[in-house]
Amino acid sequence: MANERRTAGRSQSLREFAHAVLKLEHLALVLPRSDVRTLEAAADLEAADPPPNGVGWIEAERGRFPVYCFSPELEPLARPPAGRRICVVLDAGGEIFGFLASEVVLLEKSEQPVHTVPRAMAAPGSPVLGVTVYADAVACVSSARAILSHARLSLEAA
Amino acid sequence: MRPMTAWLLDLGAGRVAAVAEREMLHLVPDPQCFELPQTPVHCRRVLRWQDRILPVWDVAAWLGAEPWPAAARVVAVVGYQKRRREAPRYGALLLAAPPVRVKVTDDDACELLQDGAGWEALAVSCFRYREQPIPVLNLRRLFYPECN
């Protein structure tokens, strides 16, 4: 939670942490790189008997973890769209899970500021904790914890 | 009575509103806006402007029109204060056409437009222009929904 507060807080910048950019088609999600444990091939996903709101399971680091897949609108999907070839294994404060992305870019710290989500746009439970600029476009700042929490919240709402 | 100047805003879908002259800061034709997920349908996009990321309000969508019509070609950057003496804050409004300056006096004040669309949640006052009631947007309330 402390990490989320830091990310969502006033006038931050990406210089606080190296980060990873997870592309979900046109959407770029920026996470602290420390949230990323490993990168696996989505082809290794076991789709049988998926977890609630998930798309399957992945074996990594001598464990078997649930895998989630969100649309670019950040809604959980039951089936991954074509092109989600990377399973990013994320660590949400000790809870490990996989998250499917079409592309992953690992970046060093930068001076790019992180802005808070404008008040008129903020939605409770949204995994978008802030906004920043990446590759000359606006990207969403999130965290492994926020993504996992959103997957579970969406399940409760369903 | 000295007339004041307001900007008449064509919000699209036949909706018209106004803001005070000093609240209009910049017009951006053919803006490049970015959609953010998990945001309300009337405020789904942001605009990069002077090292800031501004929310873009689609007032017509809030009033029930189809969001972000293809005809929308102008975004107006507006300024407002959350409290008196505070530094200005910024937001943006989606327009169907460039705004028009009009002169208004106190005699033009009228009852708020009652068309069932919900203007009372968005407007701070209303004036009559060419026989049409024009709601004046409460920008503070638009961009800080918890403000009255």
pLDDT of B24-71, one tens digit each?
Answer: 999 999 899 999 999 999 999 999 999 999 999 999 999 999 888 766
> Amino acid identity, residue B74?
V
| Averaged pLDDT score across all residues of chain B | 92
CB-nearest to A119 from B51, B53, B145 is B145
Contact of B55 with chain A, judged by CB distance below 8 Å, is answered with: yes
CB contact under 8 A, B38 and A126: yes
Contacts of A131 in chain B (CB under 8 A): 36, 46, 53
Which residue from B120, B119, B126, B107 is spatially nearest to B19, judged by alpha carbons?
Answer: B126
Contacts of B38 in chain A (CB under 8 A): 73-74, 123, 126-128
Contact of B39 with chain A, judged by CB distance below 8 Å, is answered with: yes
What domain count does chain A have? 1
Provide φ and ψ at B79, rounded to 5°.
-120, 150
pLDDT of residue A155: 64
Could you give the CA distance from residue B90 to residue A114 in angstroms, rounded to a whole number?
A: 17
CB contact under 8 A, B143 and A118: yes
pLDDT of residue B72: 66
Contacts of A127 in chain B (CB under 8 A): 38
CB-nearest to B46 from A72, A118, A126 is A118
pLDDT of residue A62: 87
Which residue from B93, B91, B97 is spatially nearest to B50, judged by alpha carbons?
Answer: B91
Residue of A nearest to B41 (CA): A121
Tally Cβ neighbours within 10 Å of residue A98: 30
pLDDT (average), residues B93-117: 92
Does pLDDT of B148 surpass 90?
Answer: no
Which domain, by its residues, includes A150? 2-157
pLDDT of residue A14: 63
Could you give the CA distance from residue B52 to residue A56 in angstroms, rounded to a whole number?
A: 39
Confidence band for B73, pLDDT divided at 50, 70 and 90: confident
Contact of B31 with chain A, judged by CB distance below 8 Å, is answered with: no
Range with top average pLDDT, A7-11, B63-67, B100-104, B110-114: B100-104
- pTM given for the model: 0.88
CB-nearest to A131 from B46, B51, B57 is B46
Helix (H) or strand (E) holding B64: none
Could you give the CA distance from residue A73 to residue A128 in angstroms, rounded to a whole number?
A: 11
pLDDT (average), residues B67-76: 81
pLDDT of residue A9: 34
For chain A, residues with pLDDT lower than 50 are 1-11
Contacts of B52 in chain A (CB under 8 A): 115
Q: How far is CA B36 from the centre of its chain?
A: 20
Q: Which letter does DSSP use for residue B71 in this model?
A: T
Could you give the CA distance from residue B120 to residue B96 in angstroms, rounded to a whole number?
A: 22
- Residue % of chain B over a pLDDT of 90: 76
Contacts of B46 in chain A (CB under 8 A): 118, 121, 131, 138
pLDDT (average), residues B109-133: 91
